[in-house]
Amino acid sequence: MGNFDIAGKELVFNGKPIRLLSGAIHYFRVVPEYWEDRLRKLQACGFNTVETYVPWNLHEPEEGKFCFEGMADLERFIRVAGDLGLHVIVRPSPYICAEWEFGGMPAWLLANSDIKLRCLDRSFLDKVDAYYDELLPRLQPLLCTNGGPIIAMQIENEYGSYGNDQDYLIYLQQAMKARGIDVLLFTSDGPLDAMLQGGTVPDVWATVNFGSRPKEAFGKLLEYRPDQPLMCMEFWNGWFDHWRETHHTRDAADVAKVLEEMLECGASVNFYMFHGGTNFGYFNGANHSHEYEPTVTSYDYDSPLNEQGEPTEKFFAVQEVLRKFTSAEEQQQWPALPEPIPAHRFGEVTMTEQAVLFEQLDQLSSAVKRRCPEPMEKLGQSYGFILYSCHVSGPRPAESLTIQDVHDRAIVFLDGSYVGTVERWNAQPLELPIGEGGARLDILVENMGRVNYGPQLKDYKGITEGVRLNNQFLFDWTIRSLALSDVSQLRFAASEPGEVKEMNAAGPVFYKGVFTAEQTADTFIRLDGWVKGNVYVNGFHLGRYWEAGPQKTLYIPGPLLKAGENEIIVFELHGTKQPVVVLEDKPQL
């Protein structure tokens, strides 16, 4: 049994003062085989606590169908941390942000157009209650009050950046308590007046999130909570990347300096992130301030451990600061760094088989008829692609095709020929000439990740309004949901040497190749000459690539491979003249 609580301006564990030196590691961004490695490295750096969010959409991918296995085995992750002697902070609020798809909320919530998110709306809270009925009893035995490693849990995440519904926050607080959560509860918000007014709860520990100027941030918090211990629940020591932007980095010496200032204030700290990991599959989120900005597949975050889990310069700079603020006895408990995980250059892999998307539709989906285009959520689809098809009458001189309102990127075909691409951030009309007999119009829309932060969380995917030629809306659509998370049903045909199907002639194409590994090791897939698409390794959906950068390689953890033959499938949206990928032993940014 254990007890973690507040005593005046101090945090105490079993009656003794404690400073939390915590780092964020998201179990859902790391393959389970590497959880212990990452946690041991956290300890070796000098941390005594690990923090993780809990993404609702991972654990309830379909309403009423729960998953707590594999990468979703939250309980196992917590037990591994506890067995190593780490304390655990869990942040299981319905919304997590985290640059994660829809801020962790499940897309199926949006099937109800009237739902109000993150407030005291009964239709939203009913779904939260059903989720908590499944989730929280799994965590209750792992609380420190029951002998487990969980010492604290969060009510909601940065709520003051979104709203000010105090009744909603209190509802979540009571929902947790009613399900046996009796550890210390907390909130975390930015250090601004409006955020602290909107996001904190009376008699609940309030923490703040920031990346710099700790004295200023803590000073603002103390205006509201002068008698509570200080903690930065998210020290942003790095940052994430969007597609079409440059790679973010932060100087290690600057991070060390801010950390030292924070600890001199007597505060506890949680590094966001200590190890970022990877947005596998379709789970990357997006921002929307001046325009829609989807997040890349890598969640390296320029953190102390890189995406592959290896220490960076920042790791050792942070470790040196922590030495100054921990006793010699505590430092003796720090384990040695685990041996580096091997990485291997497997070299070139030629894609020897192909499958054209438009020839595989019946294997991948069932068609439905709708008078108007409908977004994914109305058809029970959460992720991937959606295909809208209709017949356009003719003849018509060139008319402007407007996709109103596309979320997020549409590839347009007329009678099977590529016409152009319409992107949410640059949604320009396309000129379409329609012949006398009319033409078939196909619009393949990619969901590039739902907005995870800010006022535009209700981010429907697909065609969310309608399609028109000039001012005439087009009706009578055939729609196919193409989640493409499982590509095992594809029927591939061998390619002739040198044969490459151009997109203009065939549409998007799946390419398959195999390579042999004598033993498994981490590797990085480089896609020079490819444009945009997704990669699957031995059936595992690795994530997205795009020539727009900044990410140039995708990380393949060694446990996804096997000794012997391994399969790579690349789903390319725009075509490649050389269907070859390269497996390197280092990432390329």
Distance CA 386, CA 310 (A): 38
58, 67 Cβ separation under 8 angstroms: yes
Question: Which residue's structure tokens are 């889990």?
Answer: 309
Half-sphere exposure for 308 (CA within 13 Å, toward CB):
23
Asked about 234 being catalytic, the answer comes back as yes
Buried b (16+ CB within 10 A) or exposed e, 489-526: ebebeebeeeebbebeebbbbbbbbebebeebbbbbbb
Collapse the DSSP code of 453 into the 3-class scheme (helix H, G, I; strand E, B; otherwise coil) and give the result: coil
User: What angle is formed at CA 31 by the lines to CA 28 and CA 32, rounded to 5 degrees?
Assistant: 90
Distance CA 459, CA 110 (A): 8
Collapse the DSSP code of 13 into the 3-class scheme (helix H, G, I; strand E, B; otherwise coil) and give the result: strand
State how far the alpha carbon of 327 is from the alpha carbons of 16, 274, 304, in Å. 15, 22, 22
Collapse the DSSP code of 2 into the 3-class scheme (helix H, G, I; strand E, B; otherwise coil) and give the result: coil
- Rg (alpha carbons) of the chain, rounded to whole number: 25
Question: Which residues does residue 242 pair with via DSSP β-bridges, in sequence order?
Answer: 295
Q: Annotated catalytic residue: which of 99, 101, 234, 584?
A: 234
Half-sphere exposure for 504 (CA within 13 Å, toward CB):
3
Q: Annotated catalytic residue: which of 158, 307, 377, 572?
A: 158
Catalogue the active-site residues: 158, 234
